[in-house]
Amino acid sequence: MCGIVGAVQVGGPPPDPAILRRMAAALHHRGPDDEGYHTAPGVGLGVRRLSIIDVAGGHQPLANEDGTIWVVGNGEIYNHRALRAALTARGHRFRTGSDIEVVVHAYEEHGEAFVEHLWGMFALAIWDSRRQRLLLARDRVGEKPLLYAPVPGGLVFASEFAALLAHPAVPRAVEPRAIYHYLHFGYVPAPLSAFAGVYKLPPARLLVWEAGAQRQQRYWQVAYAPKVSWPEEEAAERLRALLRDAVRLRLMSEVPLGALLSGGVDSSTVVALMAEATSVPVPTFSIGFSHRDYDELAYARLVAQRFGTSHHELVVEPSATAVLPALVRHYGEPFADSSAVPTWYVAQLTRQHVTVALTGDGGDEAFAGYDRYQAALVAARLDRLPAPARRLAGRGGHLLPQWGGRWSPWRRAQRWLTALPLAPAERYLRWVGLCAEEVRAALLAPAFAHQVAAERPAALLAEAWGLTAGGQPLDALLAADRELYLPNDLLVKVDIATMAHSLEARAPFLDHRVLEFAARLPARLQRRGASGKYLLKRAMADFLPEEILRRRKMGFGVPLAAWLRGPLARRLRETLLAPQSLRRGYFRPAVVRRLVDEHVAGRADHAALLWALLVLEEWHAAFIEGPLASPAPPARGPYTLSTRNP
């Protein structure tokens, strides 16, 4: 696991080594064990390394036999041993046991198709000096980040924003379109970034830069058809075998390894299969809250006891949000998923014991675990009703009281009914978005609204749904989350929070073979009634406690609404209502004041939107107005720590 940087220039001299080192220094947290550089006319590559595979000999950058092809890489190539054997049989000679070295020889052997042979999570840069060509590649799902910025006559790339912005040719100006999309999704969808002229390479993409021109191609796509017709038990057996192998591959490590355990089906499945594959207790790590609606520690303990893990816990308190400035600096652009806070702290706890941690990430997107899928499927069936009837139902939703907390049936019914009259993509966007469209429309300042009037966030969902044209309705929902939410939110959150603490996270559910298998399942094997993950639960029925299999999905969040009404209310007012914040030009000051007042007084729940505005303001202070510092060191946070050994 590493952080990578680089720059190329048509016919230019070697880049300034001091600039490369400054860029790489901003990634020290991603690779505290080692650093390396390669410079030559027209190119400079740099890397910070977290040593996990071939700890002693895997120094990067790595080259082919005659030094004409160089690579720097971030991530893990899980099938590197099989690739090494095949390439050795073809006459290639290896100098190290590093998984990244296979990339150089795979490129020699297969050309641009090399990336199709790699299994794993990765962001790679290859320099081919014979052709003066740079290739950038990102893994199939988007587990590892890669940013780039075209500059006059060249291109600059890096793993994180702080490193990219350390290059003097990369400007630091706000991209208004990105801010607008952020206010819908809570994240900036690729390829946009919050900085004008800076882009994220989307997942499963290969970028080729040559002679000052670049082109991109997508090298992998999940196929949702044809659907399989296996009997349930056979399908369950096949799934168990795939997950066993995915876990086995991700146990490859020369350093201590454990698991993040929430107590949900996904992370519990990973821990169960890890325990089956190892002869020593698996170190497991869990977080909880004093707010009961958000606390899952009891379930995590149940799983830890079942599999005899070495279990560690922490309880996050409201004052944990003091880490927000450090979070903003590491994420590099506005990122409003408030679960980044507990993820940060569980990563900090985990790194005190291990260097690699397996997670259950991707299980919901593969096996239809979210409750909103059922809501969307029911709404889709009602689209056959006359439009006036659906509009009437929507008006009725606005009349329902906003009683209760996160799981209140009133709140759920209101959100569902008010979205019913909308087109499918707009409806789903309302359910996954930060706030209702009418709230956002009232919030935006007229000049800013005019500037971004051509943007259509719902079109991004519709584009993802187009990948499943003619398929079952559930496929469209899964495609939307796999194309947007998974790579732009969930995986960004986990990568940045874990790597900030020099911790590598691995996700067996994101094995491309598992995703391809899940995509071809008929809906009856994905969901039964209101319950998701039908086949996964069937496959793990003999492994997991019944309480885990039957429990209602809780999700991973923080009691944000209560925090912003209580311990964080003062900070909310002081930040969002400060003169410099109200002068940004994005929002109507009177509406910002109203949103804050309504939420703090308990008359409405604007927590998700207000948190997004708070993060946006912190980002402006860190990256736009003040001098950009290196990412803040991991902050020690207010939490209660205990170690349990069931």
Active site residues: 2
Cα dihedral across residues 496, 502, 506, 512: positive or negative: positive
Separation between Cα atoms, residue 615 and residue 623, nearest integer Å: 12
Neighbour tally for 607: CB within 10 Å: 23
How would you write 373-439 as a 3-class SS string?
Answer: HHHHHHHHHHCCCCHHHHHHHHHHHHHCCCCCCCCCHHHHHHHHHHHCCCCHHHHHHHHHCCCCHHH
Separation between Cα atoms, residue 337 and residue 490, nearest integer Å: 8
Separation between Cα atoms, residue 478 and residue 412, nearest integer Å: 21
Contacts of 599 (CB under 8 A, 6+ apart): 561, 564, 565, 605, 606, 607, 610
Separation between Cα atoms, residue 195 and residue 449, nearest integer Å: 18
Angle at 267 between CA 261 and CA 272, to 5 degrees: 95
Cis link prior to 226 (omega < 30° from 0)?
yes
Q: What is the CA radius of gyration of the chain?
A: 24
Note whether 608 and 265 are within 8 A (CB): no
Contacts of 631 (CB under 8 A, 6+ apart): 26, 29, 160, 162, 326, 329, 330, 500
Note whether 376 and 477 are within 8 A (CB): yes
Query: What own/partner pairs with CB < 8 Å and gap ≥ 24 does 478-481 have?
Result: 478/365, 478/366, 478/368, 478/373, 478/519, 479/222, 479/224, 480/428, 481/364, 481/365, 481/370
Both tokens of residue 72? 């720097």
Note whether 346 and 246 are within 8 A (CB): no
**CA 338 from chain center: how many Å?**
13
Note whether 107 and 135 are within 8 A (CB): yes
> Taking Cα atoms as reference points, which of 381, 316, 321, 327 lies closest to residue 349?
316
> Taking Cα atoms as reference points, which of 327, 325, 16, 45 lies closest to residue 159?
45
Both tokens of residue 182? 């952020």
Separation between Cα atoms, residue 288 and residue 639, nearest integer Å: 10
Separation between Cα atoms, residue 365 and residue 380, nearest integer Å: 19
Note whether 75 and 121 are within 8 A (CB): yes
- The residue length of the chain stands at 646
Separation between Cα atoms, residue 602 and residue 610, nearest integer Å: 14
Separation between Cα atoms, residue 388 and residue 386, nearest integer Å: 6
Note whether 364 and 523 are within 8 A (CB): no
Separation between Cα atoms, residue 331 and residue 337, nearest integer Å: 11
Task: Sort 400 into a burial class: Cβ within 10 Å, 0-12 / 13-18 / 19+.
Answer: middle
